[in-house]
């Protein structure tokens, strides 16, 4: 039978125009012991910034949680007229990994969309239960009347990044880890990625950063910022435990080619200085930014290096506001802005323009 790719579906790049952003509101205090109140405040500020530019869709357990969240958003001054609540209970807040992954195709001048429901097992079964999170994409698809497809493979959204033109970035440490798909080899995994995401070229990096409990998600390492350019984090201190892995990934990138056989343009971001909490190294990375309509949300951790990261992204995203928010509380849960968001690509007519969207 023809695959979704055969039918013309593909996953758009994150910088392409959005209809909105999906979130799962945080409620599991055990994910941020001693930091939970600060995390709710970070989410509220994030929603305020996003809602000025696109819809924000929030998964909550029910009307009581909705009322609590609305109160927080009102206190923050968010445009709640552009915020939509959905009664889909979750186990945790990491919507990048358990949320709906949208693909689309152009047919007869219109844009059709579909949702992919990849399997989800909380990063190799590390944090049970995860049954509520695992069904979120299908629940959303049913609510919205959007077709849903099940690729029969464990995959988190943070483990992949695409340029929207046929190339996908991922890591061996995560996708080839036997705690995800022990019965699938590299070729079988690549075949599923091509069939469902409409990509042709798959680029493999190696290991992730220290403290990352996802086994090496690419969204803490390297991100596409336009169809031919990636930005990747580097560590300048040879004594730091991230130095060797990040240097190896940089060397791999230098030898990689996109779907058209062109070398990648490579830009670099610094790593913040090591951040610890209760003796644990946290996966703080400037690569965990989120691209929205006219906006880049940058997690900040280190005043000495935050401005360098912000300046780099401002240069790479002309026309978008790069806004930094202190995420030292959020990353105690072992993730930042990209980990808690999932984009909903626009299905508007051809020719839609959004400030900061590269129309190349």
Round to whole Å and give the CA distance between 231 and 296. 14
For residue 163, the SS3 value is: coil
CB 144 within 8 A of CB 85: no
| pLDDT given for residue 108 in this prediction | 85
Establish if 22 belongs to a structural domain.
yes
Query: Could you read off the pLDDT of 263-279 as tens digits, one per residue?
Result: 999 999 999 999 999 99
| pLDDT given for residue 107 in this prediction | 87
Structural domains of the chain, count: 1
Over residues 220-230, the mean pLDDT reads 98
| pTM of this structure | 0.95
Round to whole Å and give the CA distance between 265 and 267. 7
Q: Count of alpha carbons within 13 Å of 345, Cβ hemisphere only?
A: 24
Cα dihedral 305→307→311→316 (10° resolution): 60
pLDDT above 50: residue 36: yes
For residue 162, the SS3 value is: strand
Is the alpha carbon torsion for 169, 121, 296, 82 positive or negative? positive
| pLDDT given for residue 292 in this prediction | 98
Establish if 354 belongs to a structural domain.
no
Query: Could you read off the pLDDT of 132-166 as tens digits, one per residue?
Result: 999 999 999 999 999 999 999 999 999 999 999 99
pLDDT above 60: residue 308: yes
Query: Could you read off the pLDDT of 150-209 as tens digits, one per residue?
Result: 999 999 999 999 999 999 999 999 999 999 999 999 999 999 999 999 999 999 999 999
- Of these residues, 95, 174, 327, 339, which one is catalytic? 339
Query: Could you read off the pLDDT of 82-117 as tens digits, one per residue?
Result: 999 999 999 999 999 999 999 999 988 889 999 999
Establish if 10 belongs to a structural domain.
no
Establish if 356 belongs to a structural domain.
no
Query: Could you read off the pLDDT of 52-76 as tens digits, one per residue?
Result: 999 999 999 999 999 999 999 999 9
Domain enclosing residue 328, as ranges: 18-345
Closest to 325 (Cα-Cα) out of 45, 18, 10, 1: 45
Establish if 360 belongs to a structural domain.
no
pLDDT above 60: residue 317: yes
Establish if 121 belongs to a structural domain.
yes
Average pLDDT, the chain: 95
pLDDT above 80: residue 348: no
| pLDDT given for residue 347 in this prediction | 84
Q: What string of H, E and C letters represents the secondary structure of 109-132?
A: CEEEEEEECCECCHHHHCCCCCHH
Burial 286-323, CB ≥16 within 10 A → b, else e:
bbbbbbbbbbbbbbbbbeebbeebbebbeebbeebbbb
| pLDDT given for residue 357 in this prediction | 36
Round to whole Å and give the CA distance between 180 and 124. 5
Has 339 been annotated as catalytic?
A: yes
With both helix axes pointing from N to C terminus, report the angle between 36-51 and 63-76 in degrees, rounded to the nearest 10.
70
Domain CATH code at residue 148: 3.75.10.10
Establish if 278 belongs to a structural domain.
yes
| pLDDT given for residue 42 in this prediction | 98
Query: At residue 269, what are phi and psi to the nearest 5 degrees?
Result: -120, 145
| pLDDT given for residue 355 in this prediction | 39
pLDDT above 90: residue 353: no
Closest to 43 (Cα-Cα) out of 1, 83, 16: 83
Establish if 352 belongs to a structural domain.
no
| pLDDT given for residue 350 in this prediction | 42
């Amino acid at each position: 039978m023809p695959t979704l790719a055969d039918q013309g579906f593909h996953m758009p790049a994150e910088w392409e125009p959005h209809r909105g952003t999906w979130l799962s509101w945080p409620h599991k205090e055990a994910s941020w012991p001693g930091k939970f109140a600060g995390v709710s405040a970070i989410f509220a500020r994030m929603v305020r910034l996003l809602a000025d530019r696109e819809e924000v869709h929030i998964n909550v357990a029910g009307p009581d949680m909705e009322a609590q969240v609305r109160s927080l958003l009102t206190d923050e001054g968010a445009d709640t007229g552009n915020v939509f609540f959905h009664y889909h209970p979750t186990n945790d807040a990491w919507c990048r990994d358990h949320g709906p992954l949208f693909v689309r195709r152009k047919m007869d001048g219109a844009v059709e969309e579909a949702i992919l429901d990849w399997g989800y097992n909380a990063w190799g079964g590390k944090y049970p239960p995860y049954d509520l999170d695992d069904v979120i994409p299908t629940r959303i698809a049913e609510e919205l009347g959007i077709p849903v497809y099940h690729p029969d493979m464990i995959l988190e959204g943070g483990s992949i990044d695409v340029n929207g033109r046929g190339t996908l970035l991922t890591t061996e440490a995560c996708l080839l880890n036997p705690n995800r798909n022990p019965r699938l080899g590299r070729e079988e995994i690549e075949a599923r990625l091509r069939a469902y995401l409409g990509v042709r070229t798959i680029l493999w990096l190696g290991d992730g950063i220290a403290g990352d409990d996802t086994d090496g998600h690419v969204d803490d390492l390297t991100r596409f910022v336009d169809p031919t350019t990636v930005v990747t984090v580097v560590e300048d201190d040879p004594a730091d435990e991230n130095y060797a892995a990040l240097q190896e990934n940089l060397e791999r990138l230098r030898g990689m080619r996109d779907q058209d056989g062109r070398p990648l343009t490579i830009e670099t971001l610094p790593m913040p200085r090591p951040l610890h909490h209760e003796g644990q190294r946290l996966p703080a990375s400037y690569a965990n930014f989120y691209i929205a309509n006219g906006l880049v949300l940058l997690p900040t951790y280190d005043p000495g290096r935050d401005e360098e990261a912000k300046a780099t992204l401002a240069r790479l995203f002309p026309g978008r506001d790069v806004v930094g928010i202190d995420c030292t509380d959020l990353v105690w849960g072992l993730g930042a802005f990209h980990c808690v968001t999932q984009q909903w690509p626009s299905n508007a007519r051809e020719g839609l323009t959004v400030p900061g969207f590269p129309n190349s």
